[in-house]
Structure formats: C-alpha cells, structure tokens
Amino acid sequence: MTANQRRSSRRAGAAEGQLNQVFQALADPTRRAVIAQLSRSSASMSELARPFRMALPSFAQHLAVLEKCGVVQSRKDGRVRRYRLVPQPLSVAEDWIVAQRAIWEQRLDQLEEYIATMKAQGR
C-alpha cells in the first residue's frame, strides 16, 4: 500500500467515524430537539435544558455527545456556557443519505424496467 493509499484510507476511516458519531447523536430525540433549538439561536445549557424533565448533569451528557461529534460547540461567557450549532458535520450525514437514496432509486428503476419487460413478454 502506498503512502497516498494509506492517507486516503485514514481519511475514509475518519469520515466514517464522524458519520457514525453524527448518527449516534441524532438517534436520541432529546439531542434532535436540542439541535432544532440551536438551529434558531445559540443558548445556554439551562435554556436548552428547560423543556426537558431531567437533571442538568444528565442533560450535560447529551450536550457532550453533540460536542464530541462536532454538531455543537460551546464557549464560556463569564459563568455561563453557551452552545451553538455547527452544521458541517450534519452535511456529512446528509451526503451519505443522498448517496444511499441515489443507489436505491437506481435499483428501483431497474426493478421497474424488469417488471415492465416481464409483463411485455406475458410472464
């Protein structure tokens, strides 16, 4: 394996790791709600936690998952930690979904052609 192939393989592995982390983050309804809230504006942890019936330490774990996959970033503003949405990692998931959709649309088109051929042949 050449050096270029090894670099390409590492990049592909890193991208797949990020994709897995994004889907893991999106798998939870609380985290999806936080992403929706942050899509409107940045917010503090207490503002984000307000709609949920859970303790702040439990809610902080959700934010940690979102930060780990890069979907949110936090910054300290005095005594308050504010969070903002970083949409780029979501585009990695979107790209994967678009590619999968194209594959399945092609497969369904091929199936439709096959069925039409079978009907035309009277089978």
On whether residue 107 sits in a domain, the answer given is no
Residue 83, SS3?
strand
Q: Annotate 5-32 with b (16+ C-beta within 10 A) or e (fewer).
A: eeeeeeeeeeeeebbebbeebbeeebbe
Q: Which residues contact 60 (CB under 8 A, 6 or more apart)?
A: 45
**Average pLDDT estimate for 41-61:** 95
Instruction: Name the CA dihedral angle for 26, 94, 51, 70, rounded to a multiple of 10 degrees.
Output: 70
Given pLDDT bands bounded at 50, 70 and 90, which one contains residue 122?
Answer: confident
Given pLDDT bands bounded at 50, 70 and 90, which one contains residue 8?
Answer: very low
pLDDT reported for residue 2: 58
Given pLDDT bands bounded at 50, 70 and 90, which one contains residue 13?
Answer: low
On whether residue 105 sits in a domain, the answer given is no
Residue span of the structural domain in which 74 resides: 3-86
End-to-end CA distance of the chain: 50
In the predicted structure, residue 11 carries a pLDDT above the cut 90: no
On whether residue 106 sits in a domain, the answer given is no
Given pLDDT bands bounded at 50, 70 and 90, which one contains residue 85?
Answer: very high
CATH number of the domain at 65, please: 1.10.10.10
Residue 71, SS3?
coil
**Average pLDDT estimate for 16-29:** 91
Joined together, the tokens standing for residue 19 give: 């994709």
Q: Number of structural domains, the chain?
A: 1
